[in-house]
Every structure is written in structure tokens, then in C-alpha cells.
Chain A
């Protein structure tokens, strides 16, 4: 195929990937019939679609995404949420109340205040403005316990793994509940801070080594090793 790189080869911005009858997929662009990489990442080709899986990127919201965010401002009719993306997100009071908002009667800070963590879904977004969120579905709402860690959004699929294999491995080995936001924020909630720490260590390792193979096994092994070392030292679980 007249693509100048092999699959999963590392490319950098400006690298010429293909010419003529190909489509410029994600993180690429076409100029004068030539397709170039726009980001540092691994190049891939599916049919006539040439795209790059970026090694590091920021989150661009899409309708249907589950995201985790932090309330940073209570506004006139809702809340402004930092979802670690170029644009701030918005949660409307009418969404939480399930009716229209009455300013004289409804006290917004008592529902969500600055500093609260929420898990929500994106209901409306276009690439060029802040997304609109909802918490109406089950499993969404305020987060009251656990720890948050962040990884670059492009590595979320790796964290989930094929048919959820990677995240299931972490859950099994650490006993933690793991909620993944498409915006790169992950909530880890376990029976003890020590379990949560192990899960976060695993997530960090995945981010570092996402572009390598055999990762699932190495992650499982690392967690087991850490757990047995702790037992030897006789470390008390906090």
C-alpha cells in the first residue's frame, strides 16, 4: 500500500503518511493530495482511512461520553465543570432538578458546590464550545469517595483493553471499583487506600507503556509483586 510507514510505527507531525486516494483520518490532514501526520503517535490504516493514534492529547468532547469533572463555579442557572479539556463544561440546574429552575426557591450550592466531583454524560457538544452535561442516568451524580487519577485521553482504550480485559484485571487484583471518564479522569474506589494506591500504580504503568505489547500480564504481575512485598514488610493496611 502506498502508505509510507508500517502499521503502528511512530510518526511525528509533518511526516508524510500517504498519497492520493486515501482519507485523512484522525490526527492527520490532507494537503495537495498528500496526507500528513499532525501529532506524535502510531500510524494505522483501515481500508482507505489513514489515521494516527496520538500518544498524548487533550480531551475533545463527544455526545454520549461519560466524563468526570470538578465543579469550579456555581453560575446563575447551573454549574461550571472543569473536565480537564480546552473548554469548560456546563451542567444545568434544570437537569438536576428535573424541572425548570426557580431562582427564589432552589439553592444551587446545596445540590452541588464548588469542589464537588461529579460523574456525568455529555448530551450536547460541538467541537468548538464547552459541552453540556447531564446526570440523569443511573450511576451518574456526585462522587463522595475514592481517589481520582488522570491519564492522557488517547490511552483510555488501552486502559479498558480488548473487551475490558485490562481494567477487569486491575479490578480483580486490587478489589477496587474503577470508573473511567472518557476525558482521561479515572475514579478508583477500594476498601482501603492501599488497594486504591495499587490500582493507581497500575494505571500509571499503563499510561507509560501503552504502546508496548504484553502489558496486561505485566500489570497483573506488578500488582501481585507489590502486594506480596507489602505482606513481607508486614505493612499494616491503613
Chain B
């Protein structure tokens, strides 16, 4: 099936088809503690992406024989809702979802003190309710917040963002059409305290120079997301404090 490119993705003034600058993130909205049953949860909207992450644990491992004697078992499931994409996706887990489950888990696992709770499991469930490119990055951002919301001790929050090359220019936070039609897509996850990269993948082709620029661009994006994560974690408590202040002032 031939792709019909209706118009250019980036114009001569370096403005992208959705109005963004080359190094601009999509509008992002984050909410923490959105599910009552899960031990921790977070909801992330990034552009048209809508991602829900939930954490159960630490809890006893089921089935028992999977328990690790000296650390907690971290399990992660990345799953897309059938209605999350343009063409309905079958609910059964695809190979892509299984690969993403693994790399997402490996992205935030370094931040968890796994040696603290041996023979337990921490289960993270990620549901993509709507997808528009960069879902693995938004998923990592959400999963990290869900872990913090569950009160699980962490070394740091993990933030993730993709950089890439579209129509010859390096851009930040590719959406679906930019990912599909661009020349390269580089998702990256970052732990800022240790200046460590915990997820790195690439599709496409980049020269060494472009590659270095892209990594730095992605890390910059991650740093912005990190700030948004912190604001979201504080938000609930700040809200309560303000509400009480207002009530007191009214009286």
C-alpha cells in the first residue's frame, strides 16, 4: 500500500505540521493516583497518547515458584486497547507488545531497590488507551510515577522521550505520522541523578554526528518530562493544602 504524503511534515520555517518547533514536546498532562484498587497509578496524556499505568506490590508472588530468593520480581505488561489505534487491534498480545513489555521493564527496573523485598513481586500494568507515536516513552514516564505513587522506594524517577530525524531535521517527541514517515526514531529513557540512560532503541539511519545530537536532544526532552513528573507527584498534596486554606479563609 503506497503512503500518500499530502503535505510536508516540516515547513521552511522549521515549524512542524502540528505547529510545534523542532525541539518542542507535545502538550503533556499527568495525573497520579487515578485508580482506587491499584497500589499506585498514573495517567499520562502526551499529544494524543493516553496511557494508564498501575502498580500492584510488593506482594506475594503468584505462582510461587517464580519467586526470587534475594530480590523482588518485577513484572511488566504493556498492552494496547483494541480501539487505541486507527485500525482495530486484536486484544491478544502481539510480539511488539511483548518486546515493549520487556524494554519498558528494563528501563525503570534500575530505579527500584529490588533487594529490599525478596520473594515478592511488583507487577506493573500499562494500558494504552489511545496511541499516537512514542507510547513506550509515555509508558515509562507513567510506570515510574505509578511506582512512586505506590510508595515503593526508588533511586529516582525515570523519564522517557524520543528524538528522531524527520525530513532531514532532528526533532523531539515524534508523533505517529512523524515516526512512520521520518528517517529515524530514537526512544530513550533517562535517570537524572546518575545521568544514566536506561532505555535506548533506534529505528532508521543516522550518522554519528546526528546520533550524538539526537541523544542529547532526547535527554533534554527527558529533563523537561522529569519536571512535569515532579509537579504531578506534588499536585495532590498541594491541592489539599490549598483547599484547607480556602476553607479557613472563608470562615
A contacts B directly (C-beta below 8 A): yes
Stretch from A10-18, A112-120, A131-139 that touches the partner: A10-18
Evaluate contact between B157 and A13: CB separation under 8 angstroms.
yes
Bound-state Cα–Cα, A152 to B241, Å = 18
B187 at the interface (CB under 8 A from A): no
Candidates B150, B151, B155, B237; contact of A211 at CB < 8 Å = B237
Evaluate contact between B113 and A14: CB separation under 8 angstroms.
no
Please count how many residues in chain B sit with their CB below 8 Å of the partner chain's CB atoms. 36
Evaluate contact between B233 and A86: CB separation under 8 angstroms.
no
A54 at the interface (CB under 8 A from B): yes
Please count how many residues in chain A sit with their CB below 8 Å of the partner chain's CB atoms. 31
Bound-state Cα–Cα, A31 to B154, Å = 13
In angstroms, how far is the closest chain B Cβ from the Cβ of A167?
A: 21
Stretch from A33-41, A94-102, A103-111, A226-234 that touches the partner: A33-41
B213 at the interface (CB under 8 A from A): no
Q: Which residues of A contact B111 (CB under 8 A)?
A: 13
Bound-state Cα–Cα, A77 to B220, Å = 58
Bound-state Cα–Cα, A129 to B117, Å = 8
Q: Which residues of B contact A29 (CB under 8 A)?
A: 113, 153, 155
Q: Which residues of A contact B244 (CB under 8 A)?
A: 209, 212, 218
Q: Which residues of A contact B150 (CB under 8 A)?
A: 56, 58
Evaluate contact between A14 and B57: CB separation under 8 angstroms.
no
Given contacts A36-B156, A38-B155, 20 further A-B contacts (CB under 8 A): A10-B234, A12-B229, A13-B111, A13-B148, A14-B154, A14-B156, A14-B157, A29-B113, A29-B155, A31-B193, A55-B237, A56-B151, A58-B39, A58-B151, A86-B57, A86-B60, A86-B117, A127-B116, A209-B240, A212-B244
Instruction: Identify the A interface with B (CB < 8 A).
Output: 10, 12-14, 16, 27, 29, 31, 36, 38-40, 54-58, 86-88, 127-129, 152, 154, 208-209, 211-212, 214, 218
